[in-house]
Amino acid sequence: GAVVSQHPSRVICKSGTSVKIECRSLDFQATTMFWYRQFPKKSLMLMATSNEGSKATYEQGVEKDKFLINHASLTLSTLTVTSAHPEDSSFYICSARDTVQETQYFGPGTRLLVL
């Protein structure tokens, strides 16, 4: 299957700082990438849909000024958690859609802990 990478895999930061998470599709081009968050023992929650070259579409309840998404190329999308607070601590997972196979592949996730 296709490979999607995420970096960093784990980050610990102080409250008030910003954290950038990168998501890359390594062997295919992805015009669309998705950002999810998942709390322990809970289901995936879609945060936003990221389209290359255009603004991201955010799900209801997700603050676009807090979770900045940039999809500057067909293989890279970034999520920046601005002014992070402890309640932002979560498992953030990106996925990329392979438009040829119409399949969504997930990155390994980034575990964020805000102190």
CB of 16 to another protein, least distance (A): 27
Q: Is 106 in the site for another protein (CB under 8 A)?
A: yes
* Residue reference for tokens 């390594």: 26
In eight-state DSSP terms, residue 52 is T
Which residue in 28, 33, 26, 83 sits closest to 53, CA to CA? 33
Q: Is the CB of 16 or the CB of 108 nearer to another protein?
A: 108
Residue of 29, 73, 103, 115 interacting with another protein (CB under 8 A):
103
How many residues bind to another protein according to rule CB under 8 A?
18
Cβ 74 to another protein, closest distance in Å?
Answer: 17
Site for another protein in 1-30 (CB under 8 A): 1
Q: Kindly indicate which of the ranges 14-22, 44-52, 69-77, 78-86 contains the residues binding another protein, using the contact rule CB under 8 A.
A: 44-52
Say whether residue 49 binds another protein (CB under 8 A): yes
Nearest to 99 by CA among 74, 78, 76: 74
Is residue 112 within 8 A of residue 92, CB to CB? The reply is: yes
DSSP sequence for 59-108: PTT--TTTEEEEEEETTEEEEEE-S--GGG-EEEEEEEEETTTTEEEE--
Applying CB under 8 A, which residues contact another protein?
Answer: 1, 34, 43-44, 46, 49, 91, 93, 97, 101-109
